[in-house]
Amino acid sequence: MDLKSVVKKLQQFADPNLAESWDNVGLLVEPTPPHEVKKIMLTNDLTEAVYQEARAWNANLIISYHPPIFVPMKKLVQRNWKDRIITGCIENRIAIYSPHTSYDALAGGVNDWLIQAFDTKRVGPVTASLMSTGPYTKKLQITVPSSLQEAMFKSVSGIQNTLASVQEINQDLSQITLLCSNGTIPAILECTQSFSDKVRSTELLDLQKAPKPGYGMGRIGKLTSPISVTEAVERVKRHIGIGHVRLAKGVGCESISSVAVCAGSGGSVLKNLDVSLYVTGEMSHHEVLHAMQSGISVILCDHSNSERGFLKVLQEKLTGLFQSKIEFQVSKCDRDPLDIV
């Protein structure tokens, strides 16, 4: 399957617009076309060991949950490990795609997998994803003299990916309304430039976004029946497949009846929630202290340990999505950088 078709399917599976605004998701390295994809390596972090593993397996694409390119790169030199990976992928025609927080927000994504450590009867996002209800994200309203209404409307109504309408305000003024996206605004302004000295007012508005049911950051749920703190710890360890976690037992917290989870770094999502337990990869000292003193127990798994187990689930989902036309493999070299010594 060609790379563009693969990327299109991946974006249909998890809309990149689900990602946080600060994130860098999507296709990060694109070999020159045509680029056929037969094998895809799945990893949580793209390290040099994972790159070499993917190269030895003849992977055509690496899906790295964490984006290996996150901040602008001013140069690509061999003394830097990330630069060696990127240049190696380019030289060996290996594409890189990163979903990151779009998979966190996804219904059935990383956080839904993480909360499956517990038997819950009611689960929802901690914070809901807000999505546009249609293809348009902006509303541009241009007020012009009624004598220019027809000419102005004609100049903008043919612009691709816009929806134009006109309304008379009074005998002298009319308002042209355009539903559009950020990308089409320059074309609109170019078309209306000849009328600029006649325009009475211009207003650009964001269209209202609506919560997308089941999608959002973190997950919060009620347990089917209370369990002990010790049992909660054992369930998390079994579910994510590690032999250790760190625990801060909440003051007065003798049993767990509700839980909130956030894969990765959960400090910004898990705040002042009415639950017995937080489960995440990492939180700051003061965030843990505040939760513990507020009667909420905290289980920390280390950052990537709280995410990596989803890769097996993802492998199954993507194998079905691509109808077994592409071979998927979870990296054997990918691991959390921290050890207990």
Q: Compute the distance between CA of residue 318 and CA of residue 328 in angstroms, rounded to an integer.
A: 8
Identify whether 99 is preceded by a cis peptide bond (ω within 30 of 0). Answer: no
Give per-residue pLDDT as tens, 244-263. 999 999 999 999 999 999 99
Amino acid at 212: K
pLDDT greater than 80 at residue 133: no
Establish whether domains 3-100 and 138-207 are of one fold. Answer: no
Q: Compute the distance between CA of residue 323 and CA of residue 219 in angstroms, rounded to an integer.
A: 30
Average pLDDT over residues 221-234: 98
More confident residue, 184 or 43: 43
pTM attached to this predicted model: 0.84
Give the residue extent of every domain in the chain.
3-100, 106-129+214-306, 138-207
pLDDT greater than 80 at residue 134: no
Architecture of domain 138-207: 2-Layer Sandwich (3.30)
In angstroms, what CA-CA distances link 22 with 102, 104, 261?
12, 14, 21
Task: Check residue 209 and give its pLDDT.
Answer: 83
| CATH class of the 106-129+214-306 domain in this structure | alpha beta
Give per-residue pLDDT as tens, 73-87. 999 999 999 999 999
Highest mean pLDDT among 17-21, 203-207, 296-300: 296-300
| CATH class of the 3-100 domain in this structure | alpha beta
